[in-house]
Amino acid sequence: MNNTILELSKVIFWDTDQKSLCWKENAHYIISKVVQYGNLKDWNIIKNHYTTKRLEAEVINMRYLDKKTLSYLSMFFNIPKKEFRCYTTKQSIQKHWNF
């Protein structure tokens, strides 16, 4: 357990006891929550903790990323959007409501 996790925005982990999280054991969970719900401060904290290679591997395999986040991560890691799992599977995700 590491106290830096407690510095991440509490709203990200609304459903989890942050004190029970471990950077190493819960890496996938922490990275995915920060990418989906975090702010720039949270992103910078995980960038300083995990290697670029680890972050890249996790985000490429995420099942869902909104369009803005996908674009940002694609540019940040210099990886074409087509290589992200969420890009290739997004066609099968049906929208619940048409707005």
3-state secondary structure the chain: CCHHHHHCCHHHHCCCCHHHCCCCCCHHHHHHHHHHHCCHHHHHHHHHHCCHHHHHHHHHCCCCCCHHHHHHHHHHHCCCHHHCHHHHHHHHCCCCCCC
pLDDT at 1: 47
pLDDT at 5: 74
Burial class (CB in 10 A: 0-12, 13-18, 19+), 18: middle
pLDDT at 88: 77
pLDDT at 99: 56
Low-confidence ranges of the chain (pLDDT < 50): 1
- Write the pLDDT tens digit of every residue in 19-39: 888 989 999 999 999 999 999
